[in-house]
Amino acid sequence: QVQLVESGGGLVQAGGSLRLSCADSGRTSSTFAMGWFRQAPGKERELVAAISWTGERTSYADSVKGRFTISRDIEKNVVFLQMNSLKPEDTAVYSCYANPVYSSLTHAIGGYWGQGTQVTVSS
């Protein structure tokens, strides 16, 4: 069973950096496409970044392009989200998501979710 656990969230000032990690304790998600979603209170959940199971294909929301980088260690079943030049509008709960189909990440139908980690960026 896929069991996703996020870590690395916290409080940073605008312009700072954080690196989020998502580990599959079930050790079964290495062949899954992975994504990072975020959701702030009163706002819709959005896909921030996605990566194919091989790691050769990535995509980003326009709002984070050039600032965020998604990567993965397939052998260790860990996905990372490096967040640089953080802005207050990046404040949200960030959740890791796994789905066997890369093209299914956008609407997050099916798949598996982590519990989320809070990222707060102060102005």
49-76 residue pLDDT tens: 999 988 889 999 999 999 999 999 988 8
* Rounded-to-integer distance, Cα 52 and Cα 57, Å: 5
Residue 93's pLDDT is 98
- Sequence-distant (≥ 6) Cβ neighbours of residue 80 within 8 angstroms: 19, 20, 21, 22, 69, 70, 71, 72, 73
Q: In the structure, what pLDDT confidence band is assigned to residue 47 with cuts at 50, 70 and 90? A: very high
Token representation of residue 71: 């990567």
